[in-house]
Amino acid sequence: MQLLSEDEDFPKRRKVEETLSHISSFFAYNTFNSGGVKFDWKIAVSSGKISVLQLYGLEGNSKDAVIEFLLWDLYSFITSQGTKPLSCFVVLDEAHNLDFEPQTPVDKIVREARKFGLAAILASQEPNDFHGPAFTNTGTKICFQVPEEGKFVKKMAAKARMNANQMKDILSTLQPWHPYVLSDKNAVICRVASHNERGLV
């Protein structure tokens, strides 16, 4: 690609230059380093252990693109294994930064992956950014205090079959460690045990 961008006789040189400028950061930061730690979805999914993928050092569009690559790779692996009972979860933190548009990997995962044994847990401090399939195709909502009004509150109210003002009152007055859990139109305010109580500290 570098050679084409320097070839003044190449008719699409300008396009190549633009493309090269967009992907250059991948190579500048050695994003696709063949000498990196080997990771195998089959081992990760079947091990019964938790795998955490941290994307330190990547920012902006580069980070977004790598996340898309990883999610497409996971989706392709899961669907290649055929249909099976639910056996694993992918947890996507700061999920409001993801692309939920149709035909993106997140869209495909929340719509179709459960029949292949994969479910998604989406976590975010910006619930209003969960729209379309991300809201309708996730069966359980776990919500901590949400002080502001917005589409999310209205959608939660519709799901729970209650007035939006009632839902606003519930979500805006939740106490710390007491989330509102809504699943299959059944709702409860529960308490999350602390790390000390669970023996994790």
Domain boundaries, the chain: 1-30, 37-138, 139-201
What residues in the chain have per-residue pLDDT under 50? Answer: none
The single-letter DSSP state of residue 87 is -
pLDDT of the residue at 141: 93
pTM above 0.85, yes or no: no
Contact between 115 and 86 (Cβ < 8 Å): no
Distance CA 22, CA 16 (A): 10
Q: Could you tell me which residues come within 8 angstroms of residue 100 by beta carbon, excluding any fewer than 6 positions away?
A: 106, 107, 130, 131, 132, 133, 134
Distance CA 145, CA 178 (A): 8
**Alpha-carbon distance values, 126 to 98, 113, 138, 167, 188 (Å):** 12, 24, 16, 17, 22
pLDDT of the residue at 170: 94
Helix (H) / strand (E) containing 78: helix 60-80
Token output for 190: 């529960």
Distance CA 198, CA 165 (A): 35
Count CA within 13 A, CB hemisphere, residue 145. Answer: 8
